[in-house]
Amino acid sequence: MRSRPRSGLVPSAIAALVLPAGLAQAATPIAGHYPPGQTGIRGAATPGVGWAFTNFNRFFSNLETRDGNGAAAGDVGEVRYANISMFTWSTPWKVLGMRYGALAGIPFSTGNLNPSDAETGSTSLGLGDALLTPISLYGAAPSFDYQFQFTLWSSSGRFTPGGSDNRGAGFPALVYSLGGVWYPDQSRASWSVSGVARFEQNLEQADTEIDPGDDVVFDWGAGKVVSAWSKPLDAGVSGFATWQLDDQSGGSTAADLGRYRNFGLGPEAALSVSEAVVLRLRLHWEFGTRNAVQGNNAWLIANFRI
Domain hosting 179: range is 50-305
pLDDT (tens digit, 9 = 90+) per residue, 116-153? Answer: 555 555 566 788 899 999 999 999 999 999 999 999 99
Domain count, the chain: 1
| Domain annotation covers residue 199 | yes
Instruction: Name 199's bridge partners.
Output: 176, 216
Residue 45 is assigned to a structural domain of this protein: no
pLDDT digits (tens, 9 = 90+) for 235-268: 999 999 999 999 998 877 555 788 999 999 999 9
Per cent of the chain over pLDDT 70 is: 86
Look at residue 37 and tell me if it is in a domain: no
What is residue 25's predicted lDDT score, i.e. its pLDDT?
43
Question: What is the pTM assigned to this prediction?
Answer: 0.86
Pairing of strands 210-211, 191-202: unpaired
Determine, yes or no, domain membership for 18: no
Burial of residue 235 (CB within 10 Å: 0-12, 13-18, 19+) is middle
Is 6 domain-assigned? no
Q: Is residue 30 part of a domain?
A: no
Question: Based on the number of CB atoms within 10 Å of its own CB, is 72 exposed (0-12), middle (13-18) or buried (19 or more)?
Answer: middle
* Assigned domain for 41 exists: no
CATH of the domain at 260: 2.40.160.40
Burial 187-223 (b: 16+ CB within 10 A, else e): ebeebbbbbbbbbbebebbbebebbbbbbbbbbbbbb
Q: How far apart are CA 169 and CA 161, in angstroms?
A: 10
